[in-house]
Amino acid sequence: MMRGRVGFCCLLMILQIVSWAGVTSRPLPPNDAHGVPQPVDLDLQQQKISSMANFYRETCPTVKSILLLDSEGKRIAVKYYSDDWPTSGVKLAFEKSVFSKTQKTNARTEAEITMFDNYIVVYKFIQDLHFFVTGGDDENELILATVLQGFVDAVSLLLRSNVDKTEALENLDLILLCLDEIVDGGMILETDGNVIAGKVATHSMDDGAPLAEQTISQALATARDHLARSLLR
């Protein structure tokens, strides 16, 4: 139930902000007791819009980063959705620290949760791949765990259950597309692994060719072709 509601809840919040902005961006001047129009404080109304946007931004579940590392802590695919890590060096240091803190834990049968540098980190290991989802210290752990599971499930489907470093590197384009389908700008879009994998397959396949009929190399080639066409537009 939670998987379908996360994105829907955020969508409702955005629609309410847009609706509020549409109404208040064209204010009608109020009248005083004598019916004389009074000036409208546009700055005050803009502040109200900004306050409401901040309220929904804080209320809507968000993700700060998603990491896919190998068994040595080296990055396979990573996405950051926060300015908390402003440089590449800071990001690499964070990845190294997270890996060092979690590498000796048993997170293979089910996901584990830990606090690290005031962040909630939910993680799971499959073969030589380490999956991580990071959120703020006040974020809902269950939602972060749902995002993680959706990522793991989608990657498993896209790699035909051959979830290891070699397959991940050979299909890196598909994994990056997978991340784009899960989170955008920190906002959670989708957490159902089947839906995520289906959308990635739609982007990366020729029209009319079902996922089951394509090999890994074919899916990778079509994904690269799709990205190339997008860059040339």
In angstroms, how far is the first alpha carbon of the chain from the final one?
A: 38
Q: Which of 119, 114, 124 is nearest to 150 (CA)?
A: 124
Q: Is domain 65-232 given the CATH code 3.30.450.60 in the classification?
A: yes
- Provide the CA 223 distance to its chain's centre, in angstroms: 20
Phi and psi at residue 37, in whole multiples of 5°?
-60, 140
Grade residue 117 by pLDDT with cuts at 50, 70 and 90.
confident
Q: Which of 36-40, 50-54, 158-162, 165-169 has the highest mean pLDDT?
A: 165-169
Torsion sign, CA atoms 152, 156, 158, 159? positive
Helix (H, G, I), strand (E, B) or coil at 67: strand
Integer Cα distance of 74 and 192 in angstroms: 27
- Given this model, what pLDDT does residue 52 score? 57
Q: What is the pLDDT of residues 124-164, one digit of tens each?
A: 999 999 999 999 998 999 999 999 999 999 999 999 888 99
Angle in degrees, 0-180, between the axes of helices 141-158 and 193-204, rounded to the nearest 10: 40
- For residue 54, count other CB atoms closer than 10 A to its CB: 10
Q: In this predicted model, what pLDDT tens digit does every residue of 219-230 receive, in sequence order?
A: 555 555 555 555
At 49, the pLDDT band (50, 70, 90 cuts) reads: low
Instruction: List, in sequence order, the alpha helices (H) in 159-215.
Output: 165-170, 172-182, 193-204
Enclosing H/E stretch for 212: none
The CB-side HSE value for 186 (13 A sphere, CA atoms) comes to 16
Helices (H) and strands (E) in the chain, counts: 8, 7
Query: So where are the chain's domains?
Result: 2-25+36-59, 65-232
Contact 133, 121 (CB under 8 A): yes
* DSSP 8-state assignment for residue 60: S
Q: What is the DSSP string of 77-125?
A: EEEE-STTS-SHHHHHHHHHHHHHHHTTS--SSS-EEEEETTEEEEEEE
Give the predicted TM-score (pTM) of the model. 0.68
What is the token pair recorded at 213? 């009929």
Name, in order, each residue with C-beta under 8 angstroms of 78's C-beta and a sequence gap of 6 or more.
Answer: 65, 66, 67, 68, 69, 91, 95
